[in-house]
Chain A
Amino acid sequence: MIIQAAALGWALLLSQVEGQEKAPQPETQQAGEDSGEGSKREQLKDVADKVKAAPEPDRSGNDLTGLLTPEEPRPALRYDQPILCTRLPPTKQVPSGEYRMQCDPVTRRCLIAPASELDSDGQETDRALLRTSYCDRSEASANVRVQEGYRFVPAIAESPPGWYRDEQGRVMQFNFDLHRRIYLGGAWAPLFRSGQGVEQNRVRVDFGIQTEFPGGDEDNRLHRLTFLQTEVYLGEPSLDVTLLRYDFNVERKVPLFRITTFFGKPRRFDVGLNLGAWVEALHQETIEREGSELSVLTWGAVHGTLDLWHSPDLVSYVRLRAGPSFERDRTHGQNTLVPTAAFEGNITLDTDGFHHLLFTVEVEKLFLDDPVVGRALHPERLRVRAGYELILLAINDQPVSVVVDGRGAWRSDIPNVAGKWEWSANAGLRASLWAPARRSAPLASAR
């Protein structure tokens, strides 16, 4: 009844409000509720006047008090739902009257958020909201909603998945994809060698560019690329840099192996194996131990991978990897074939990408090598590594993480250096650029 009366009043008012200089004085919603049906009708009339008058430049004395029904905690507009950009009667906090509005026809509720950031006192600033979605600038939309009896609820503007917006409208990233980043870090990396003292004055500087992208028409695939992955150790010097590394893993929709038997009635047995590939090009390793230096350049490596487990989005995995590498022993001027086998994992432990666990066990053996003084034929290398990376904070939405890992290596390919285990514990910080939100990032409003 109220609504019909309001609609009738609104229709009458539309022909009378032309030329009005000023909207009526603001009224609170509580006052409106106390004044009965007649006063509500008047209030709606006033609201209509306010909304109609909003486009007029002289609106500084109006506010939305009578329209608003605040909720706690303050809701947020949804990024994935249609949003209107509209003008409402100005308030002291939002004198421009520019709002972003999202209405729900079921609850007949409109969430409204200022279209600009607010300062710490809640006053509108001239900084437009960042990372908002498209909005429809329908001039009559607010009027229509008022006419239809919608409630207006103060809210926080929308933010894209992986981003959070505070009550001042400032947006910040809470979800990070550390598989898409440019990182630079440093770590203290003391070295323990079997039978020798501890090399404590050893630090590591690391750098790399990583990205990944999904693909595949028939299968769900994730392609990973790493450029210039670099680790430089100072103290007990060594260098490890890889120009390019590419790999992909896959969740096959069709079984990899379909086995048909022909004894009795033919029957088919499907065996699904998620096989992928791993390729590396131009990997330089220089290492110096006990006064003996070895410089090895891997021309290329082509390995196959078998995922033992992977997450639904393929980002996390535990897998086996094996294949040949082709190396150039630059120190001794010979080319070698290096079969490699590895068991490795890279697991993101939480939804927002703050916790990462990595581990690798890798075995290599050199073939086609010529005799080298002080070194046995077909030397071997064994490497183990386990690490953890945790995002501590973000500076300007660029995460800074702490990286700790333990590494062990046994190798007999350095001339005049007996094969022995060496262990290092690394602890340091890493700054990451880019690091967008993960593809699986949730909306802040859905957290």
Chain B
Amino acid sequence: MLSLALTALLFALPPDSQGTTAAPTLSQGDECMMETAAGDRFPTCFDPGNALLLGTGLQVRGGVALPTLQAGILLRTERTSRSKGLLWFNTHRILVTEATPGNAQRGLTTTAYEGTFRRHLEDGFILIPTSRPIRIPFPFDITLAVRAGHLERRVWEGPGLTVETGRAALLLDPVRSASGRLWLGFGPAASHSLRRMPDGTLEQELSPFTSAVLETGYETVDGWWTVRASGLAGWISSFEGDRRFRARADGSIERILFALNDQPLWLQLYGTYAYKDVGLARGTEWTAGARLLVRTFSSL
């Protein structure tokens, strides 16, 4: 639903912002700089995907209010393929970590690396190599989404932890935005995870493309507003042969509040619902919260 809403929002945008010939960015331009009465210049545009992330907030999990801390490194690159002349929109999230300190439900979730690589072509097609090659329109960008080293530790559940060693998904993006600020991808995903139980036993689970992933988001050109959503649903099988269905969905919306010494601070409201997918007990849980996020070095 959220993706549909985002798609609808996309089509409601002015033509320039979804044009296919030029990236609708204000980067490096004077539009992103203003002057004080004294003549000092200050930035007014930011890239939420390029920053050193620090955050704190309050989260409600299972009816319990918890303080949270968040940190990580965010990188976003845009490059042109030399061999194909294609645009690649890449995002990298390194060591993004969230901790819930305190005595109640103390825990830590961290991801060593998470990245998406979207291959953008203005006029996508599929070539059928018959004697006379046939070109069939293919109205999607292709995105490779990978995640490695996702660790979840919940102290109140006792000894043990959950590690998703790796996950890869191949996503189709019908929006085909010529900007890294808008994306919508869905497709199958494969993953492998480990679960070390309190009694010391080790369980392994595999999802051989029996899950589907949705990744979508939109950031305004000046970076003041950001909306993101993602989802995962599908079957996962243990090495012993058990199979179960699990699902997860999360969404967030952010608004920039102010910048301190040109380092912007956003307010983020977010929510997550997990069905049989959290903790050692593979529980069902919802969380909601608010964060204050500083993304340093993100000014354009």
Contacts and interface: CB of A to CB of B under 8 A. Distances in A.
Interface stretch (B51-59, B147-155, B206-214, B251-259): B251-259
A268 B256 CA distance: 14
A262 B42 contact: no
A258 B262 contact: yes
Given A266-B44, A268-B40, A260 B262 contact: yes
A396 interface: no
Interface string B7-42: 000000000000000000000000000101000101
Interface string A262-297: 100010101000000000000000000000000000
B44 A262 contact: yes
Contact of B260 (A257, A262, A266): A257
A218 to B, nearest CB: 14
Contacts of A268: 34, 36, 40, 42
Contact of B44 (A258, A259, A260): A260
B83 interface: no
Interface string B277-290: 00000000000000
Interface string B253-276: 000111111101000000000000
Given A266-B44, A268-B40, A258 B261 contact: yes
A138 interface: no
Nearest to A271: B260
Given A268-B34, A268-B42, A262 B258 contact: yes
B135 to A, nearest CB: 46
The CB with the most chain B CB atoms within 10 A, among A257, A258, A259, A268, is that of A268
Contacts of B259: 258-260, 262
B31 to A, nearest CB: 11
Contacts of B140: none
Given A268-B34, A268-B36, A260 B224 contact: no
A257 B262 CA distance: 9
In terms of DSSP, what is the predominant structure of the interface of chain A?
Answer: strand
B112 to A, nearest CB: 33
Interface residues on B, range: 10 to 19
Nearest to A256: B261
A261 interface: yes
Interface in B122-151: none
Nearest to A262: B256
A259 B34 CA distance: 13
In terms of DSSP, what is the predominant structure of the interface of chain B?
Answer: strand
Nearest to B43: A260
A257 B259 CA distance: 10
B34 A266 contact: yes
Contacts of B40: 258, 268
A259 B260 CA distance: 5
B46 to A, nearest CB: 9
Contacts of B34: 266, 268
Contacts, number: 34
A412 B260 CA distance: 42
B227 to A, nearest CB: 17
Contacts of A258: 40, 42, 259-262
A258 B34 CA distance: 13
Given A262-B224, A262-B256, A266-B34, A257 B44 contact: no
Interface in A188-211: none
Nearest to A254: B40
A260 B42 contact: yes
Interface string A360-398: 000000000000000000000000000000000000000
Contacts of B256: 262
Contacts of A257: 260-261
Contacts of A259: 258-260
A126 B262 CA distance: 67
A258 B258 CA distance: 10
A25 B261 CA distance: 80
B257 A262 contact: yes
A262 B40 CA distance: 17
A230 to B, nearest CB: 41
A258 B40 CA distance: 11
Interface string B59-79: 000000000000000000000
Contacts of B261: 257-258
A268 B35 CA distance: 9
Contacts of B264: 260
Interface in B175-198: none
A90 B264 CA distance: 78
B195 to A, nearest CB: 37
Contacts of B257: 262
A274 to B, nearest CB: 16
Nearest to A258: B261
B261 to A, nearest CB: 5
Nearest to B257: A262
Contacts of A262: 44, 224, 256-259
A357 to B, nearest CB: 35
A386 to B, nearest CB: 37
Contacts of B260: 257-260
A260 B256 CA distance: 10
Contacts of A270: 36
B29 to A, nearest CB: 15
Closest 9 pairs between A and B when the two form their complex, measured CB to CB = A260-B259, A266-B44, A268-B42, A262-B256, A261-B258, A268-B36, A258-B261, A266-B34, A260-B42
16 contacts: A258-B40, A258-B259, A258-B260, A258-B262, A259-B260, A260-B44, A260-B259, A260-B260, A260-B262, A260-B264, A262-B44, A262-B224, A262-B257, A266-B42, A268-B40, A270-B36
Interface of B: 34, 36, 40, 42-44, 224, 256-262, 264
Given A260-B258, A266-B44, A268-B36, 16 more contacts: A257-B260, A258-B42, A258-B259, A258-B260, A258-B262, A259-B259, A260-B42, A260-B43, A260-B44, A260-B260, A261-B258, A262-B44, A262-B224, A262-B256, A262-B259, A270-B36
